[in-house]
Amino acid sequence: PPPQTLSRPFWPRQLAVFLSRTLRARLSNRAFRWVNLLEPPLLAVLTAGLCRGGASAYVFGDNPYLHVYFFMAVIVAIFLGLSISAEEIVRDRRILRRERFLHLSWSAYSGAKLLHITLLSLGQSAVFAGIGVGLLHIPGFFFRLWLVLFSSAVFGGFLGLNVSARFKSAVTVYILLPLLLLPQMLLGGLIIAFDDLHPRPPPHAHPPWIGELTASRWAFEALAVEQFQSNALQRHFLESDATLSRLDFAVTDWIPALIGRLDALYLDTASPEQRQAIRNLLIRELNALERKTGRPSGASAAASRLRPPDRSGVDDLKSALRVLARDLQAERRNVQRQRNAIHDAMLAMQGEDGMTRLVKTHANRALIDLVRNRRQLAPLREQAGRLIRLSDPVFQDPDSPWGRAPFMAGAKRIGPFRLRTFTFNVGVLWLMNAALAACLAFLPPHPRRTADI
């Protein structure tokens, strides 16, 4: 055999060469330059301008479309990522075929593509976020908005690279883009309610699994919850408002609902099966009530001793619940006094005009209605043998140790750790990005298996 005169460079060198070649090729393409320079600001002006509304005197707090802007910004970011990556590998198909005999590293080639998409998404999302924050007057929110949009754009870019690697025709790839983007729009949590997607009523208020696998859901939730929690007004009252919400729900809704179920347990029309189901619900909910309030009242143990139609113990159980309600009302008054003290201190510092200005420039009413689920009139719902809380998801404390929580919950749990929704959701987005990157790097397209459509 002839002597070998060429040697393959090490992986880092291949990565650098592939990245340099990709950047030079894209920068030399005038159409590519102009499209990717003009598309983000034009889409940003269009999205933010339409969501700004038509009022002559714009007030951030009165903008009814802020949550719509957050959602559409996420969709646009994913679209930008898909559009810049759709042809990346398809365009190089002939070069890859010619270089196949050199046995170069596919992971180095794909890594260069991933880095290129990441760098381009970083700049595009910064432009988009800056224009949106400026037009909609969202104070102190640029970095958070940019981080979520950047994460979403990288997701779209990595997804587009995987699609581009599996098909040989650019036409096929562009036909698939709407099919990839449509689920992100429908399953993001704004257009279709997650409650309508459960095949059967679950014993919790978590989104369905199809929603948990949708990137736009995590990004939209992160933006909405973070703007509510971290704005210059609400962050002073966040802890006290969460405690007040929990106590109000227990006293006003939860305990009366349990007393109503207790009365239903002894209705003459109740069948043995219905009575057993109500008894099981009472035991579960009273256990949960004691755990959530931190006040062991013995009510759950008393409920387990009930044997309808024998009414012995019913009056004692009702009395225990009323005593618990009085204790919680006393705790609520203390928390309300603490909140009032914070409000009075801010009022003394800011003045009436300053407080009014703070409310108008930082607290958006439509967003508050969304994260507190105020459009849902019923505070709770019975399903699957549980009483499911529907009110104030942003103030609910999650039970699941696996990161699952009601949509718009303010925190998530991983094992013993409690994380803010913004931190957790951005982490989930980057886990998705890492999975897509690994799929591209470690599952190279086989030349005979790549779809030739």
pLDDT tens, N- to C-terminus, the chain (453 residues): 556 556 677 888 889 999 999 899 888 888 889 999 999 999 999 999 999 987 778 999 999 999 999 999 999 999 999 999 988 888 888 888 777 777 788 889 999 999 999 999 999 999 999 999 999 999 999 999 999 999 999 999 999 999 999 888 888 888 999 999 999 999 999 999 998 888 888 888 899 999 999 999 999 999 999 999 999 999 999 999 999 999 999 999 999 999 999 988 888 888 888 989 998 999 999 999 999 988 887 777 778 888 777 777 788 888 889 999 999 999 999 999 999 999 999 999 999 999 999 999 999 999 999 999 999 889 999 998 899 999 999 999 998 999 999 999 999 999 999 999 999 999 999 999 999 999 999 887 765 444 433
What's the pLDDT tens digit per position in 274-313?
Answer: 989 998 999 999 999 999 988 887 777 778 888 777 777 7
Query: How far, CA to CA in Å, does 40 sit from each of 73, 129, 134?
Result: 11, 9, 15
- The reported pLDDT for the residue numbered 116 is 95
- The reported pLDDT for the residue numbered 4 is 56
- The reported pLDDT for the residue numbered 446 is 60
Identify whether the C-beta of residue 136 lies closer than 8 Å to the C-beta of residue 51.
yes
Identify whether the C-beta of residue 120 lies closer than 8 Å to the C-beta of residue 83.
no
Query: How far, CA to CA in Å, does 176 sit from each of 66, 173, 447?
Result: 30, 5, 20
Identify whether the C-beta of residue 299 lies closer than 8 Å to the C-beta of residue 290.
yes
Q: Max CA-CA distance within the chain?
A: 99
pTM: predicted TM-score of the whole model, two decimal places: 0.93
Crossing angle for the helix pair 106-136 and 142-166, to the nearest 10 degrees:
140
CA dihedral 115, 119, 121, 123 (to 10 degrees): 180
Q: How far apart are CA 389 and CA 129, in angstroms?
A: 35
For 225, half-sphere exposure in the C-beta direction (CA atoms, 13 angstrom radius) is 29
